[in-house]
Amino acid sequence: MKTIRLMAALAASLLFTQPAAAADAYPSKPIKLIVPYQAGQGTDVAGRYLAEYLARALGQPLIVENRPGAGGNIGASEAARAAPDGYTLLMGTNGTHVLNEYMYSSTAFDPDRDFEPVMLVSSFPMVLLTRPGSPYANLADLRDAKKAKADSINVGMPSTTARLVFELLKQQGVNSMRGIPYKGSATATTDLMGGQVQIGIDTVSAARSFITSGKLRALAVTSLKESALLPGVKSIAEQGLPGFQVIAWNGLYAPKGTPPAIVQRLNAELAGILARPEVRQRLLELGHEPGGGTPAELTAFSRSERLKWQPLIVQAGLKAE
């Protein structure tokens, strides 16, 4: 009898120590980072840059896979279905983890129940764009286009956040525009430069190189005031719509059920990376304000964002489909 009890105790001990042992050995193979947008989009740019540092810190390759479509829902739902072992991660956004829940009839995932938050990675405003030589030089020109009974202005929208900015502008009187959805920044930017759309709404990160090279011109940013990420460009709020503010953000997530030790390891490594001066400087150059914090803080932040945007989206009947 003593032998049986001893074996049972040993089996129980092994059962409860296996997850901890697995976490201690993590990672032992390459990790996949899903970016739910096209290559070249703001989230993709920051994700690939940080993936290089995280791979060195963890001692395993981080393979970035782009899964664009449905405002990020396709990639996020794939990550939600992945094994919770730390070998599939998601670079989530305010689109996938806040806005899409209210702007799409179905997302195939729940942002709270299906993910373990790791860390807020970065935040950034959106920017209104046009081509050099365009008749639209600022927000007033877009508002005046309606007064002049001009044809509808086609606006490229490569994300849910871009759609939100578009709808908020229409609500506040800038209603000469017609929204054209895109799967990502690359195709939206190509059509903007080619004249298929007259205005673009995108992240500062995705648009910055085109602005600095003179291929595109910035009309306004969506922060309350001029952003240090794009100096010299006035905000929408400063151009006649007081209080207008839409800030986008990126956050690292793992599938629900990922061992806490793995989540904490990822958080600690990422915190160390984001504390490096050269990383912070490079993220600013890419159009991202560096983030940070604990998994619990990311949970609280995303929930506060839902409380902020859900009533507005529902009341206005905003839909991304």
Cis amide prior to 259 (ω within 30 degrees):
no
Locate 290 and state its tokens.
């560096």
Contact present, 54 and 24 (Cβ < 8 Å): no
The residue among 136, 148, 142, 182 whose CA lies nearest residue 163 is 182
pTM for the full predicted model: 0.82
All residue ranges of the chain with pLDDT < 70 are: 1-24, 146-151, 321
- Give residue 173's pLDDT: 87
The residue among 286, 270, 289 whose CA lies nearest residue 56 is 270
- Residue range 116-172, pLDDT digits in tens: 999 999 999 999 999 998 999 999 988 887 655 555 789 999 988 999 999 899 888
268: helix, coil or strand?
Answer: helix
- Residue range 279-293, pLDDT digits in tens: 999 999 888 999 999
Per DSSP, 280 falls in state H
Distances (CA, A) of 209 to 41, 106, 173: 12, 34, 30
The residue among 152, 114, 108, 101 whose CA lies nearest residue 313 is 101
